[in-house]
Amino acid sequence: MGEKTRWESYDVRGRVRQPVNAVFLYALFAMASNSMAHVKIGISAKVYERMLALRTGIPIPIGVVLFAEVGDRGLAHHLERRLHMAFASRRGAGEWFEFDVSDAGEKALFHGVTRTIYESTVGRTLVWRNITPEQLSVFASLRSKDKR
């Protein structure tokens, strides 16, 4: 039987339902062109909030955000360091890495390396969830209404 996720979604007030103390790995794809993506690999306990914060500082559109539950912060930091080392040859500035998303080989490389490192570090199968730009906009709208 497959592993059940404890992460649900956001509720009608824009609050993300997630396990207490959970930390997530994320990969944010900012599209520099139709083929080139700047990919930010990081960790956060509040993925939607983190994406909203990053969105305001990125001058190019966000394509999609992938995220997966890791567990505790120490394990998440270890995973993040391993992924940054694995993709060091693709590093741009900070935690940003460059991939040609129009190339099937580059996609396979990203997903294969990420899956292998995640599974060997976390000890379970990598299950990506995604946040589309539309979902992020809805979340931002709900958050701003909740703050009024």
pLDDT tens, position by position, 95-116: 799 999 999 999 999 999 999 9
Summarize pLDDT for 61-73 with one digit per residue, the tens: 888 889 999 988 9
Summarize pLDDT for 6-15 with one digit per residue, the tens: 444 444 455 5
Q: How many percent of the chain have pLDDT more than 70?
A: 82
Residue 2: its pLDDT value, please?
A: 40
Rounded distance between C-alpha atoms, residue 147 and residue 113, angstroms: 40
Does residue 3 sit in helix, strand or coil?
Answer: coil
How, if at all, do strands 129-131 and 62-71 pair?
Answer: antiparallel
- Which of 41-50, 98-107, 121-130 shows the lowest mean pLDDT across its residues? 41-50
Give the start-to-end residue ranges of the domains of the chain: 23-147
Does residue 33 sit in helix, strand or coil?
Answer: coil
Residue 8: its pLDDT value, please?
A: 43
- Residue 95 DSSP label: T
Residue 84: its pLDDT value, please?
A: 96
Residue 18 has pLDDT above 70, yes or no: no
Residue 58 has pLDDT above 60, yes or no: yes
Instruction: Tell me how far CA of residue 46 lies from CA of 20, 49, 63, 121, in angstroms.
Output: 10, 6, 19, 21
Sheet hosting strand 96-100, strand order edge to edge: 96-100, 36-44, 23-31, 62-71, 129-131
